[in-house]
């Protein structure tokens, strides 16, 4: 089974593994989610209707919405949250929120556009302290 290693900037949060859900769209916890149901709810979002629970989420960048910093913590406290979030580039809010929530978050990948390098359904391990993401593909 092929394993692909992707180097990124040092991230925040613990090492986690899970199934990837990938989009080249952007992300805000406040604007895009129904946090009770655990799905993307904004109709214009490319993942509208899909569940983010326990997924390794992959987005292009983070959008406005300062509240997202609290929301990751609140979502994780209820167990209805992604396992990790990967971006090409994150904004400060999501990085701050992941730091509080102790959720794995990484960005700035050396190999290029992370939304193209990882595919939905890939088995992914995120190691923020090493700045490393590995993909295991069937």
Partner 1 sequence: MRLTADEQSMLDGQQGEPRRWAMEHMLRVGRFFDAADFVPVVQAHIMADTESLGEAGVEFLESLAAAPEAERRVRIPMITDPRGIDFCHYRRLKQTDAMAVLEQRAIDAFEALGIMMTNTCINYQTIMPPVRGEHLAFGDTGVVIYCNSVLGACSNFEGGPSALAAGLTGRTPRYGLHLEQNRRATRRFRVSCQPRYLSDWGALGGIVGARAGSYREVPVIEGIDLAPGSDEMKHLGAAMASFGSVPLFHLVGVTPEAPTLEAICDPAALEVEVIGEADFEDFFARYGGKGEKVDVVVFSAPQLSLLEMQSLADLLDDKKIHADTDMLAVTSPAVAADARRMGLVERIESSGALVLEGMCFYQSYAREMGEANSWTRLLTNSVKLANIIGGYGYQPTLSNMENCVASAIAGEIV
Binding residues for partner 1, per CB under 8 A?
9-12, 26, 28, 30-34, 41-45, 61-71, 73-74, 77-78, 89, 91-93, 95-97, 99-100
Q: CB of residue 122 vs partner 1: minimum separation in angstroms?
A: 24
Query: 53 or 73, CB closer to partner 1?
Result: 73
Cβ proximity to partner 1, 54 vs 74, nearer residue: 74
Q: Please provide residue 15's backbone torsions phi and psi, each rounded to the nearest 5 degrees.
A: -70, 135
CB of 93 to partner 1, least distance (A): 5
Q: Which residues pair with 133 in a beta bridge?
A: 6, 126
Q: Which is nearer to partner 1, 28 or 115 (CB)?
A: 28
To which residue do tokens 């990948």 refer? 109
Spell out the residues 6+ positions from residue 47 whose beta carbon is closer than 8 angstroms to its own: 21, 23, 25, 32, 40
Token output for 81: 């949250």
Q: CA 19 to CA 97: how far, in whole Å?
A: 22
Q: Could you tell me the smallest distance in angstroms from the CB atom of residue 6 to partner 1?
A: 17
* Residue nearer to partner 1 on the CB measure, 63 or 122: 63
């Amino acid at each position: 089974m092929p394993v692909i290693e992707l180097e990124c900037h040092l991230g925040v949060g613990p090492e986690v593994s899970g199934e990837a859900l990938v989009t080249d769209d952007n992300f805000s916890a406040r604007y895009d989610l129904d946090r009770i149901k655990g799905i993307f709810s904004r109709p214009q979002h490319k993942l509208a209707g899909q569940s983010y629970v326990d997924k390794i989420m992959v987005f292009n960048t983070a959008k406005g919405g300062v509240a997202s910093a609290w929301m990751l913590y609140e979502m994780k406290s209820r167990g209805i949250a992604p396992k990790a979030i990967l971006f090409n580039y994150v904004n400060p809010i999501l990085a701050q929120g992941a730091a509080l929530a102790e959720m794995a978050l990484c960005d700035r990948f050396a190999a290029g556009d992370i939304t193209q390098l990882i595919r939905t359904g890939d088995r992914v391990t995120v190691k923020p302290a090493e700045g490393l993401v590995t993909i295991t593909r069937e």
